[in-house]
Chain A
Amino acid sequence: MKNFEEMQVDVEAGRHVKPGSEFYMPPNENDRVSAFIDLIKYRAFASATRALDDQFLHDFNLLSVEQRAVLAGLDKLYLIPAALIADLAIKGVKQWISSPITILNEMASAIAISNGDINSVDKSDKSILYRYFVNSKIESKDAPSFSNEEFLQYTLNRLLTEERVIFTWIVQNLILLVEHAHMDPCLHCEFFIGLFEKSNYIQGELGVLFKVAISKTPSLFETLANARLSIDPFTKQTNFSLWLQDSAKFKYIATLRTIAGVVETDQVKKFDKKFELFNEMNKFDRGAL
């Protein structure tokens, strides 16, 4: 049996793994909490315990949680975190959520997020709340926890700038917040226009989100109507796929024109004229109409 110091050296040298074994390794190396969430979601425990050296695993199980946490922090392969998280999940997260040991605190947060247990999450930590928001479908009773303006600014900014998939449930969460008046679209015009410009197509939930947002804040229609879209004849000739994509987005904006509360301002009149001209110019084009 090895002592704790020897085990630390072994982990740092990668000697805690059976040679040639296969195991799940999360891709988010720069974001430990997301990596821990992945370990839980993709059931890494089974492959991790199979891959760990038998003697090491035996010795590991005799250590205290704090010692195991130290080893978990050293393990770049995420096998020890996978084993430790499974153990913490069984014991319950409550006692670790405010632990002064960062890695235990992060693991407890990851377990709470994976379980959809909003009450156990530290709501004052906006990065943890953000991870909850992007990983879970929020229920309406929990929506007030996400209405803090500072959190919303942080989250919407990350959603726009981060290279991440905007999953259906993230858009559903946004719809819920707007519908239940926990998020005022008027204060987040930049996000809506950014999301519109970033999206290559507006369908499904995304279509619903803009509709709900404009119903709550009709002036947002003007902002969307001013979105940069390449629907001109030159683009049609030189970059047809972009033109087709942007034409579909332009026509989508037109479907929002009739939402109650959209006032006929100069900008809106300009849009109506542009839409009329667009239809006239492309009336023989099956792809556009």
Chain B
Amino acid sequence: MSKWNQRRISIDIESDYDPLTSIPMLEAGYIDEVKARQRITAAFDTQNCKNITIIDPYLLERDVKTILELFATQSERNITVITFLNKLKDGDAKSSDKVTTATIVKNIVDDLTKKGIFTSFEVIVTSFEFHDRFFFCTDEGKDGLLVSSGGSLSMFLTKYSGLVRITNRTFRRTLLQFIEHAKENGKLLSDYIVEWS
């Protein structure tokens, strides 16, 4: 095969490549999850996203650090996390354990708010279980960058978990509907703590 043909083939392969639609650990030359995480940061920063919704049934103390690393690269951002506060091992029922997690997360989030790292950081605890994980830019007038993540924040981009960029508008509208549903049927962290402690 001539060099030009080889080049053409490699361009064809590259032109279909999207770092946000991939199983990073399977990529040739994959370095580590830090590099993989930077893809998400870069995508949201490039579009100058200001309103970001993170949908993840699990949320642990350490996940706030991951959120910071992903999104504290630009100021004046409004972060909303929709979660069921699932625990890694046990407890899909509301338990005192979940309230403990909620209280710790609330303290960490209050600290961040006090320091003005994000304009707002809202955590909504849903009244129903859910499964899928997403990062969603809900800015108006932008193309609604939406990434589905195979893994939770706590195991982010490990264990061969994949990322998929979703461009389908019907699905984006459905997800906005889900966010509304979660807000209507969910509770802010502070209210959740009061109710269950």
Contact surface of A with B, Cβ cutoff 8 Å: 22, 24, 38, 41-44, 46-47, 137, 163, 165-169, 172, 200-201, 203-205, 238-240, 245
Contacts and interface: CB of A to CB of B under 8 A. Distances in A.
Nearest to B48: A203
A38 B34 CA distance: 17
Q: How large is the interface on B (under 10, 10 to 19, 20 to 34, 35 or more residues)?
A: 20 to 34
B150 to A, nearest CB: 21
Contacts of B48: 203-204
Contact of B42 (A41, A200, A240): A200
B74 A168 contact: yes
Interface of B: 11, 14-15, 34, 41-42, 45-46, 48, 60-62, 64-65, 68-69, 72-76, 87-89, 100, 104, 107-108, 111, 115-117
Q: 8 smallest A-B Cβ distances: which pairs?
A: A204-B74, A168-B75, A42-B61, A43-B104, A167-B72, A165-B69, A201-B46, A200-B42
Contacts of B88: 22
Nearest to A45: B104
Contacts of A205: 74-75
Contact of B34 (A163, A169, A203): A163
Contacts of B45: 200-201, 203-204
Contact of A200 (B46, B64, B108): B46
A47 B89 CA distance: 15
A42 B62 contact: yes
A41 B63 CA distance: 12
B37 to A, nearest CB: 9
A204 B108 CA distance: 25
